[in-house]
Chain A
């Protein structure tokens, strides 16, 4: 099936640092979603993007819908310990109804 390439797979950063992660695909997506998953919990929706070039913020989080519609980026500024978790991108392919394709996740560890 369609794959989303999410990178990096894992990150170890110092508290206060900024973080960037991205997802790329060879196919065009109509929607990009970013989720965060804490251990033992379900993914929580962070940001939704619907237009190419769209830049949306949610607190210290900023995500962008790539101009080519084949990629998306998530930035976290001034990281704090509670940012620890797995971040997933998800995309909705053109013509795929409601079926989201998920990236493999980025495991973020914030060191004090």
Chain B
């Protein structure tokens, strides 16, 4: 079975440019999560969706960050305008609602470098 798919794997952009990260969750999963990983702060949850609806975006650092999930098989995380401090690895993860059990499966990540 295909796991979580993310693209691009690497992105290098200049400060001020718009960046769009893409994610395809595992088929049948109804939860989708966006995380950011840095050395200083570790893994941080940015936002998560349930059935394509944003549930909690309290982790989104600023208004420059936005996320959408137009359908069950696709989500985007957009940064506009990007800044050097946004450089990090961004992960998408998905899970399937199963009572109280939780298993989140991660994609390979997008390594973002903003110069």
Contacts and interface: CB of A to CB of B under 8 A. Distances in A.
Interface of A: 30-31, 33, 35, 40-45, 48, 50, 88, 90, 92, 97-100, 102, 104-105
Chain B, interface SS category: strand
Given A97-B55, A99-B45, A42 B103 contact: no
B108 interface: yes
Nearest to A41: B108
Contacts of B106: 35, 42-45
Given A31-B102, A33-B102, A41 B109 contact: yes
Contacts of B45: 99-100
Contacts of B95: 98
Given A43-B106, A100-B104, 14 more contacts: A33-B102, A35-B106, A41-B108, A42-B106, A45-B106, A48-B102, A48-B103, A90-B104, A92-B102, A97-B55, A98-B50, A99-B45, A102-B42, A105-B42
Contact of B104 (A45, A50, A104, A105): A45
Interface of B: 4, 31, 33, 42-43, 45, 48, 50, 55-56, 91, 93, 95, 100-109, 111
A92 to B, nearest CB: 5
10 contacts: A41-B109, A42-B107, A43-B43, A45-B103, A45-B104, A45-B105, A48-B103, A98-B55, A100-B45, A104-B42
A41 to B, nearest CB: 6
